[in-house]
Amino acid sequence: MDPKTRLRYEARTRILKALAHPSRLFILDVLSHARRNVGELTELVGADPSTVSKHLSVLKGVGLVRDEKHGANVFYEIQTPCVLNFFTCVDEVMASSLKKQTEIWQ
Q: Where are the domains of the chain?
A: 3-80
Contact 44, 53 (CB under 8 A): no
Residue-wise pLDDT tens digits, 50-98: 999 999 999 999 999 999 999 999 999 999 999 999 999 999 999 999 8
Please return the burial class of 53, using the count of CB atoms within 10 Å of its CB with bins 0-12, 13-18 and 19+.
middle
pTM of full prediction above 0.85: yes
Contact 66, 60 (CB under 8 A): yes
Residue-wise pLDDT tens digits, 17-62: 999 999 999 999 999 999 999 999 999 999 999 999 999 999 999 9
What is 3-80's CATH number, 3.90.230.10, 3.90.1150.10, 1.10.10.10, 3.40.50.360?
A: 1.10.10.10
Residue 85 vs residues 39, 80, 91: alpha-carbon distances, Å: 27, 10, 10
